[in-house]
């Protein structure tokens, strides 16, 4: 996914911000020299943590007295057994088509739709449809499919986070918030959901609620002595993102010192993540802590020497403390990286 930088107008209040063409960047995309990844968030380098949803599980075993995914009982007659086995094969074909080395999405869609027609009470069929729509960036269709799955079975937990992700990609943050809050009714100790809720609150400009959600994620990750819940979560990944989202929230409240403290924690957890250092620099700069911002931007440049925005922001910080020699040095380094940024920095140096 393409990444670019937006040049801010104000010299002393806002520096270059890291932004991207999508709201919900996943970790591991956009690899960088020095490790880590540059995320799409303008403040904090955080992201909605998203993991590609797995295929709907298949029902195995000879017992037919089990409960279907939609909550209904499956009959124990030979005819019902045969129908149930045939239904599982349809789900399996949909799964196989999606998981092929070159996914066969048209085939998968046909199979999941067939499964939904065969058993409207099986949430797995609609979940499978939602997954293939999400894979293809068909977010509106993914939302409808996932919501249909939840109408069938409100406790079908694998659907909630992909649904929230699709809503985020559509910039439908209030709906994403409600979806994640519903998920917490069934899985209240999942730190990843609390982190993602904090992310959505930030984008809805509900900053105080974002602070509370991120702090709950941090608590659940064991920073206050409570046990960490291990599932699909990677502790440091979730913890770093929770601190970065917390920094976002404090930034929205214009509490720049608190934002810097949160982002500093993120850099300690992921010292090679350039985005965390970059946005720590932003928070420090916004709080008027220019010397510390300079140190943060130097850390970014150690990791990403070719990152034009870091050189520009470092130059701005030098201008803010009236160190024209330092600013000129960054101007010279910036010229071959981004001529437009260099010209704008030069005009600020000459003021």
Protein fold of 1-50+273-351:
1.25.40
Separation of alpha carbons 91 and 116, rounded Å: 9
List pLDDT tens digits, range 260-294. 999 999 999 989 988 889 989 999 999 999 999 99
Separation of alpha carbons 39 and 22, rounded Å: 10
How many Cα neighbours within 13 Å face the side chain of 194? 23
Under the banding of pLDDT at 50, 70 and 90, the label for residue 8 is: very low
How many Cα neighbours within 13 Å face the side chain of 326? 19
The burial class, CB within 10 Å (0-12 / 13-18 / 19+), for 281 is: buried
pTM score, whole prediction: 0.81
- Phi/psi for 19 (5° steps) reads -135, 170
- Hey, where are the domains in the chain? 1-50+273-351
List pLDDT tens digits, range 39-74. 444 445 667 888 899 999 998 754 433 444 444 445
- Token representation of residue 50: 């998203």
Beta strands in the chain (DSSP E): 3-6, 17-20
Under the banding of pLDDT at 50, 70 and 90, the label for residue 147 is: very high
- Judged against a pLDDT cut of 80, whether residue 223 lies above it is answered with no
């Amino acid at each position: 996914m393409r990444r670019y930088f937006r040049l801010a107008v104000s010299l002393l209040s806002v520096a270059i911000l890291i932004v991207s063409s999508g709201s919900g960047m996943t970790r591991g995309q956009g690899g960088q020299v020095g490790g880590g990844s540059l995320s799409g968030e303008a403040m904090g380098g955080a992201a909605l943590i998203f993991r590609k949803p797995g295929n709907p599980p298949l029902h195995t075993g000879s017992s037919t007295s089990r409960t279907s995914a939609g909550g209904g009982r499956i009959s124990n007659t030979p005819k019902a057994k045969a129908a149930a086995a045939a239904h599982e094969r349809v789900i399996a074909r949909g799964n196989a088509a999606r998981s092929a080395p070159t996914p066969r999405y048209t085939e998968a869609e046909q199979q999941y739709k067939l499964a939904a027609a065969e058993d409207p009470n099986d949430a797995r069929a609609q979940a499978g449809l939602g997954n293939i729509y999400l894979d293809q960036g068909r977010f509106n269709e993914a939302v409808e499919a996932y919501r249909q799955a939840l109408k069938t079975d409100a406790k079908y937990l694998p659907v909630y986070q992909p649904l929230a992700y699709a809503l985020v990609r559509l910039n439908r943050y209030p709906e994403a918030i409600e979806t994640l809050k519903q998920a917490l009714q069934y899985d209240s100790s999942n730190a990843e959901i609390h982190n993602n809720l904090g992310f959505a609150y930030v984008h809805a400009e509900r900053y105080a609620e974002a602070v509370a959600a991120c702090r709950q994620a941090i608590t659940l990750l064991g920073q206050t002595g409570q046990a960490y819940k291990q599932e699909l979560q990677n502790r440091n990944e979730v913890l770093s993102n929770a601190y970065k989202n917390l920094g976002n929230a404090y930034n929205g409240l214009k509490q720049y010192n608190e934002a810097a403290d949160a982002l500093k924690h993120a850099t300690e957890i992921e010292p090679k993540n350039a985005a965390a250092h970059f946005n720590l620099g932003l928070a420090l700069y916004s709080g008027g802590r220019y010397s510390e911002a300079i140190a943060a931007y130097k850390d970014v440049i150690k990791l990403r020497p070719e990152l034009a925005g870091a050189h520009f922001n470092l130059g701005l910080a030098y201008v803010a403390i009236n160190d024209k020699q330092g600013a000129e040095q960054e101007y010279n380094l910036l010229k071959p990286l981004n001529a437009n940024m260099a010209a704008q920095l030069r005009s600020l140096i000459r003021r």
